Amino acid sequence: MTSPNEIAKVWFLPWNRKHELAKLLELSSAAAPFHEGDFCAVKMHFGERGNDGYIRPEYLAPFLQMISACKGRAFLTDTCTIYAGPRKDALGHLEVAAEHGFTQESVGVPVIIADGLHGTDDEQVEVAGTHFRSVKIARAIAHADSMLVLSHFKGHLMGGFGGAIKNLGMGCGSRRGKFEMHSGATPQVDAALCKRCGACVTACDHRAISLTKVSAQISIDRCVGCGECVLVCPYGAMGLAWNQGPKQVQERYAEYALGAVKGKRAFYVNFLNHITPNCDCLSEGEDSLVADIGILASSDPVAIDQACYDLVLKAGGDVFAQTHPGVDGTVQLAHAENIGLGSRTYDLIEV
């Protein structure tokens, strides 16, 4: 992790040379954070049922070999979701992970859902944020000695884009933590567009949506702001209050990211391939916004996300702003830098 006045180093391997991943790890000194006897949390996303945007298990071998060579004890991990679906508890999450090839038998290390059976196992971690003074980090991650954060960089409804910062923040918070991060981002219904199909009612795991004679209706008291109803609505009748929701959510998960790595040695790898409009939590596949770009590695989560964002802009323009108008994804970068998570200034070093 670098300070805002330092220039972080980000290593870049073009996608057409992805078979040289081990070389990227060697040149970027990826092994440095991992020590003998470490409990090393390999934080990633196991994918949602019906979505193929996740990092595939066949890419894991060089990472796990690296940690093993350092005599660390790696485990793959993620946390429970707050939206309806199989990953809202540990058993369903592990079933989906197994369907996608993430099992101890196939990858050689344990697979652990870090916040427990119902997503309630967490630890309070103090942070110096503007929204939080402490954050609720999944217990297995909070107790890890080091972290390898593997992130698939793509678009996101609330963040504009999601990379290492979102994977750390939203991905390492327990269910209670996710509620805190989404607080204040209540969707709104456009009654003129609503066809009362009920897709949003089915998708909401918090019984916050009902159907009236005119349109769907959201209970502010029940809504946690996860945005699932916005994603599933086939008529575009669900929207977010863009003046507050996305900005606050981004700042909050940047502060959770700070808590997730507090007191830990960590390294970050972002995959810039199959760059979709929305996150890998969507239960259906999407086409890529731009051609596959490459794989990036850094010890700085802010720098690596900034570099990914810049490379996507160079490849296809501001496709994230076009996909999610009104959402400024750079909010998370600026806030993360301001609270000391890392630096937006970087040197890009091609392998």
CATH number of 8-181+244-350: 3.40.50.11440
Domain boundaries, given as residue ranges, for the chain = 8-181+244-350, 186-240
Q: pLDDT tens digits for 190-218? A: 999 999 999 999 989 889 999 999 999 99
- Could you give the 3-state DSSP secondary structure of residue 181? helix
CB 224 within 8 A of CB 185: no
Q: Is 270 helix (H, G, I), strand (E, B) or coil?
A: strand
The reply to whether 8-181+244-350 and 186-240 are identical in fold is: no
- Integer Cα distance of 351 and 334 in angstroms: 27
Count other C-beta atoms under 10 Å from residue 295's C-beta: 26
Instruction: Give pLDDT < 70 ranges for the chain.
Output: 1-5, 184-185, 240-244
For the domain covering 186-240, report its CATH number: 3.30.70.20
Question: Half-sphere exposure of 52 toward its Cβ, with a 13 Å CA cutoff?
Answer: 5
Of 105, 18, 102, 109, nearest in space to 66 by CA: 109
Contact 310, 294 (CB under 8 A): no
Alpha helix stretches (DSSP H) within the chain:
21-27, 61-69, 90-99, 104-107, 139-142, 164-172, 175-182, 199-203, 228-232, 245-260, 301-316, 319-323, 330-338
Identify whether the C-beta of residue 82 lies closer than 8 Å to the C-beta of residue 179: yes
Token representation of residue 340:
């000391």
Per-residue confidence (pLDDT) for residue 242, from 0 to 100: 47
Nearest-angstrom CA–CA distance, 145 and 122: 16
Direct distance between the N- and C-terminal alpha carbons of the chain, in angstroms, rounded to an integer: 21
Q: Which two tokens stand for residue 187?
A: 């969707």
248-to-80, 163, 237, 243, 337 alpha-carbon distances in Å: 21, 17, 22, 9, 15
Residue 42 phi, psi (nearest 5)? -95, 95
Which amino acid type is present at position 81?
Answer: T
